[in-house]
Amino acid sequence: MENSAIIIYAGQPMKVVCDRNCAKAWGIQCRPEVQLSDDPDDYAFLADGELGEAPIDPGTYEGGEAKPLSPYEFPNKWCVRECERCAKSLPREQNEPLKALQYDGRVYNMPQLHSGR
Threshold 0.95, pTM exceeds: no
Question: pLDDT tens digits, residue range 68-97?
Answer: 999 999 999 999 999 999 999 987 787 788
For every residue of 40-92, DSSP letters joined together read TT-EEEPPGGGS-PPPS--S--BTTBPPPSSGGG-S-HHHHHT-TT-EE--GG
Q: CA-to-CA distance for 115 and 53, rounded, in angstroms?
A: 28
| Cα–Cα separations (whole angstroms), residue 78 to 38, 50, 72, 73, 110 | 31, 24, 14, 10, 25
**Per-residue DSSP letter, 62:** B
Tell me the domain boundaries of the chain: 3-113
Position 90 scores a pLDDT of 85
